[in-house]
Each structure stands twice: as structure tokens, then as C-alpha cells.
Amino acid sequence: MSLFQLEDIKKEFKHGSTKEQILKGIDLELNKGELTALVGASGSGKSTLLTIAAGLQDLSDGSITFGGKNMSAMNAEGVREIRAKHFGFVFQHAHLVPFLTVREQLELMLDTAETKWSKKSRAARIEDALTTVDMREHKDSYPENLSGGEKQRVAIARAIIHEPQILFADEPTASLDSKRSVEVIELIERLARELNITVLMVTHDNDMLEYAERIVEMKDGKIIEF
């Protein structure tokens, strides 16, 4: 079932008086619970496409439809609300707050989330998310005492704590060694399979592709292969 549609997405950046077209009409659909890998050479526009899809950056032309709603026709507040309720994000680096414990990182996320939960359901959510990423025993640790893979697992817990429908991941394994990369990709694959989260993941690493149900390749701002 198609949950998310990108239609004829274009993006241009101005360099002085000239305009450069970075995305040249992208069509892409994401199906519920499916893990789609986005690959392509550096500079081909993967991160630009991902951030536009996630509502983190404006598009120049085209339309984005999520759950039947046309996001590109919404004002900034409407997009922000969808993003906060239904989207989660993971990047190459975990970007944890250095002076907060693992549990506090997640509490902070719930404090700023769109939906307000009772104290009891907040605690249950934190336990669930930490169990999902297998980090319960580290809940009182600070980031400096965690390995790169553990930090990324906390970043994933933080990204899913509000039960998003779509997870956008930009090179989530790029700063990890191969063993930690496999742990993180297996976790992301499990989010799709068991929690039915739709995942769009940019990756450079061919070893990650076997976990994807679909592989989409970009070249020079266009999709060249499904």
C-alpha cells in the first residue's frame, strides 16, 4: 500500500545569478512497512531528496502526498505538525546531547513531541524504545560512555519514540565499522518488518542493500533505476 508519494520533485539552488537544478523531476512512492534504499554517487542529490521528502527543506516544484494529504499545499505549520507526529529522523552521526543520559535523551524528545502522553505511558514508551534497540541496560549512561553503534541505537530509539509512520535515515551506518553497521541495519530492517515503519534510507554501503526491499538509484538529480 502506497503511504507516501513524491511527484515530479524539482529543486534548484541559486549560485549568484545562476540557478542550478539539483533535483530534476523525481517520482517515488513509499509503501507501508517497506525499507527503500536510496543509492547513488556523492552529489547526486540523495540528501536533498531525503530532506525535501521529510519536510525539512522546501521544494521548488512538484508535490508530496502523505496518507492522502497533499503536504506541498500546506503551510509551514501544517508540515511541521505532520513531521513532528509521523516522521522520525536518523543521520550519519547520532547527535546526542552530551550532558543527558540515554533515558533523558528520550524524555527530552517526548517533552518536545506534538502528542502529550501521561507519565505512565511516557515511561512505558521509553522502556519499549530502549528494549527495541537493546539499550535498556545503558539507560543511565552518558553518550561519552557509549560506543558509536550504541549511540546510533539511542538515536534510533529517539527517532521512533513517538511511533512515527516513516523513518528517514541519511547514511545511518556511514561512521560505523562493519560489525556495528550490521547491527544498526538489522535493527532498522526490524523496525520495518515488526513495527511496520516505512523506511527511506540513503546509503553508500553496498553491504546494506541486501536488507532493503527496494533499491532506488539516483544520478545527477534523477532516478535511474528501480
Ligand X SMILES: Nc1ncnc2c1ncn2[C@@H]1O[C@H](COP(=O)(O)OP(=O)(O)O)[C@@H](O)[C@H]1O
Q: Which residues bind ligand X (CB under 6 A)?
A: 13, 22, 40, 42-48
Distance CA 157, CA 143 (A): 14
- The Cβ-side half-sphere exposure at 29, using a 13 Å CA radius, reads 7
What's 140's DSSP letter? Answer: T
* Contact status, residue 46 vs residue 53, Cβ threshold 8 Å: no
181 binds, among ligand X, Mg ion, none (CB under 5 to 8 A by kind): none
Q: Contact between 47 and Mg ion (CB under 5 A)?
A: yes
Smallest gap, in angstroms, from Cβ of residue 141 to ligand X? Answer: 32
Matching residue, cell 517533552: 111
Adjacency order of strands within the sheet including 222-225:
87-90, 166-170, 198-202, 35-40, 214-219, 222-225
The distance of closest approach from Cβ of residue 180 to ligand X in the complex, given in angstroms and rounded to an integer, is: 22
Considering beta carbons, is residue 47 or 60 the nearer one to Mg ion?
A: 47
Among ligand X, Mg ion, none, residue 11 binds (CB under 5-8 Å by kind)? none
Backbone angles phi and psi of 12, in degrees to 5: -125, 145
Instruction: Choose among Mg ion, ligand X, none what residue 13 binds, the Cβ cut-off being 5 to 8 Å by kind.
Output: ligand X
> Residue 153 binds what, of ligand X, Mg ion, none (CB under 5 to 8 Å, by partner type)?
none
5 binds Mg ion (CB under 5 A): no
- Give the binding-site size for Mg ion (rule: CB under 5 A): 1
Site of interaction with Mg ion (CB under 5 A): 47
